Amino acid sequence: MSRTVVETVYGKYSKYEIVRDSGMFSTSVYLLKDGKHAGSYGSVEAAVAAAKSKG
């Protein structure tokens, strides 16, 4: 399994990281807010849009 931080978005008070986690059979994209899980998304673009709207 490979975990990669694709993009980092800095909000006013928080840091959001978009992470792509590649497994053997699937790939998942999720959002971390200050190191804690903040949501799962179907694509990197959706995760970036969510981070920008939250931050």
Percent of the chain with pLDDT over 70: 98
Residue ranges in 1-55 assigned as alpha helix (H): 44-54
Please, what is the average pLDDT of the chain?
A: 92
HSE at residue 21, side-chain half, CA atoms within 13 A, is 10
Task: Calculate mean pLDDT across residues 30-41.
Answer: 94
pTM: 0.85
Query: pLDDT tens-digit profile of 9-21?
Result: 998 899 999 999 9
pLDDT band at 23 (very low <50, low <70, confident <90, very high): confident
Q: Would you list the domain boundaries of the chain?
A: 2-54
